[in-house]
Chain A
């Protein structure tokens, strides 16, 4: 459970930092002249959707941290046989990086009010995300052809489960990108579009980060790190 505890510690630090700026030591019952010192609400000037996405990323992050926790506990058992990671995953990773870069490109274009650039970024981003998903399916097929079935070993089960969970999040993101692209199509004003593109780009960077962590886990790079964590706990 060290991964999730670590994740919660990070969340706690963020929450603590935010709370420390909220004047929690104020004494509201002593505010005698409310007009002379009319307090701001302390609401952030960020749009609600941005904060909503931030909270959602914390939830999704907690989900993946829990998968990683379960993975690192289960891999201790004697029946664990690590599976060879298909080379295709490296190609897929590259495509996902491309997808993230394209959406960032779209966001930069949106800041410059360059509508063509936004459309280009969104389309390339969506297309490469679809290629990523197809690549993941092909990787599954390669593993299956090589005899690594879902239920034959826990390492395989986790591989399919975790990649599926990540893929579903990419698919959810594609819905958002699709809606944003439709906005471009309809000719929505740039001020509204800018926020949508930014949210998509942020989500994509998050998915890329999660994927890189998962890849490290699945390829065994992080085994040493997990081992150290385990030793710390024992």
Chain B
């Protein structure tokens, strides 16, 4: 008696939704430039996001140079410093992380992981990228306009954002708002695709509860982004009106240089509500795809099924819903009614529950796993630790009484860099090491990858752990020069110089990573179709890199969930999702 595969497909019921005819490019331009293929769009998104992200990285070096060695670099004056922090924050949060997770990974992975040939509205998907590129170009152009980019801080709080004391008041702020509006329009086009593709284009057998958690994370984050970005849209349009047309949505009555301004009666708090109604979900728009991806990385590289899959899905959905009712915890010092503060502190702390469930489940997935310390796994482990660290300081800041003295200090900077800067970037890097073989057909260099991981991971801790201490000392954020103040000991200045040196080193490690990306494209070891021996559908494509239409003649059929690793009795330690079940057949020849 042996197990033999049989024609399981014959028994499976037909697909519920008919296949849509695929668009075929007719020229080089429509194949590689104005492409409607989600995989090409994904690479376009990723490269554009990385390019503008590099600008933000350089800006962070300049800020660190100024903070570490104040007075040494005369070309960084106070105005420029403010412009650097603004552009660094805005680019990293929106134009890099959001675009990379949803536009980059979303476009590449959703169709492949759900077993579709492409996104459901490929033309709109293509438009999405081009509008995004336009938004990036408008943003980058602010470096070259008179007055330079805006220095209002990434939160763009009025009234200071549009007053003449703030750098970039001429063109910088206008173009920033225009760029944000464009970004949101572009994102909405892409987001409609991601959501409807997950809803409608799943292949036969791919139920929602068989989706890899990566798709769950990206899907939920996209739904949140579609609902939250309109708040930033409304805020941007209204501030643009205030700046250009002289309305007073947000602008109170002001005297500037002894002159009564034309504004009057507006409410800066209204802007803060709108901004953070977008801004807090934004944290989870970045975090949920990271949660999803890291779950898949851990499961694959620990050769073990994900612990508590259902809980993971419920936690993702729960975090997504809760994140819409916590926004005002960013506004404890804005003069809200104290009862509001109590309400928002409560909801903020409640969100720790589903988040903690996820962390426990990752750790329990690792428990007794066959852990392979590959580069993606190293980054995934780095993410868990970093996210826990950043999350714990979040519990501090979520409490009103602790938050009030820590507001606008380096402690806050350290907190959000750990939790939504370093942690998601760890996942981005791990995911690139994980899926690069599928995108290019070649492995990234392992030694360079490990070097990159250790420098980045240890460096991030050397940068941001001391920053918590600086914050507790009371060093404010957004100050170009803290100067000689009694409450700041000289050791704080030494620490600042130390952080700067480490930051430059970590920046250098990213150049090694970029070199690895370029070098491996040509010289990397050929990877084959499934180098990590993973179960999910994207590793089962007939070609690597996947061809146009992804699946050759027939769509795959899914028979199992995404985490059949180390199944007892199976021939290999993984069973792909599309592998038909075997049946014991009596009397078959051995």
Binding site for B on A (CB under 8 A): 1, 4-5, 8, 11-12, 15, 19, 22-29, 31, 33-35, 38-45, 48-49, 51-52, 55-56, 58-59, 62-63, 66-67, 69-70, 73-74, 77-80, 150-151, 154, 157-158, 161, 165
Contacts and interface: CB of A to CB of B under 8 A. Distances in A.
A23 B207 CA distance: 9
Contacts of B231: 4, 62, 66
B202 A43 contact: yes
Contacts of A58: 226-227
A26 B245 contact: no
Most buried by B among A1, A44, A48: A48
B265 A41 contact: no
Interface in B16-50: 16-17, 20
Interface of B: 8, 11-13, 15-17, 20, 120-121, 188, 191-192, 195-196, 199-210, 223, 226-227, 230-231, 233-234, 237-238, 241, 245-249, 262, 264-267, 270, 273-274, 277, 305, 309-310, 313-314, 317, 321, 324-325, 559-561, 563-564, 581
A24 B314 CA distance: 8
A164 B572 CA distance: 62
6 tightest A-B CB contacts, nearest first: A79-B265, A28-B561, A157-B247, A63-B230, A151-B246, A48-B120
12 contacts: A28-B209, A34-B559, A52-B121, A56-B188, A58-B226, A66-B274, A70-B249, A74-B249, A78-B265, A151-B247, A154-B265, A158-B249
A27 B13 CA distance: 21
A151 B262 CA distance: 9
Contact of B267 (A66, A74, A151): A74
Most buried by B among A29, A42, A49: A29
Nearest to B208: A22
A12 B234 contact: no
A161 B267 contact: no
B16 A66 contact: no
Contacts of B313: 24
B266 A48 contact: no
Given A23-B209, A63-B234, 9 more contacts: A24-B313, A26-B207, A34-B205, A38-B13, A41-B15, A43-B202, A69-B274, A157-B247, A158-B249
Contact of B196 (A22, A23, A27, A52): A52
A18 to B, nearest CB: 9
Nearest to B248: A154
A45 to B, nearest CB: 6
A52 B121 CA distance: 9
A73 B234 CA distance: 14
Contact of A4 (B264, B266, B277, B314): B277
B11 to A, nearest CB: 5
A66 B205 contact: no
A35 B8 contact: yes
B121 A55 contact: no
B198 to A, nearest CB: 10
Nearest to A56: B192
Contacts of A41: 15-17, 202-207
Contact of A33 (B245, B563, B581): B581
Given A1-B273, A41-B16, A8 B265 contact: no
Contacts of B321: 12
Contacts of A15: 223
A176 B230 CA distance: 22
Contacts of A43: 16-17, 199-202
A80 B16 CA distance: 55
A34 B209 contact: no
Contact of A48 (B196, B207, B210): B196
B227 A8 contact: yes
Contacts of A26: 207, 209, 310
A77 B266 contact: yes
A19 to B, nearest CB: 7
A33 to B, nearest CB: 7
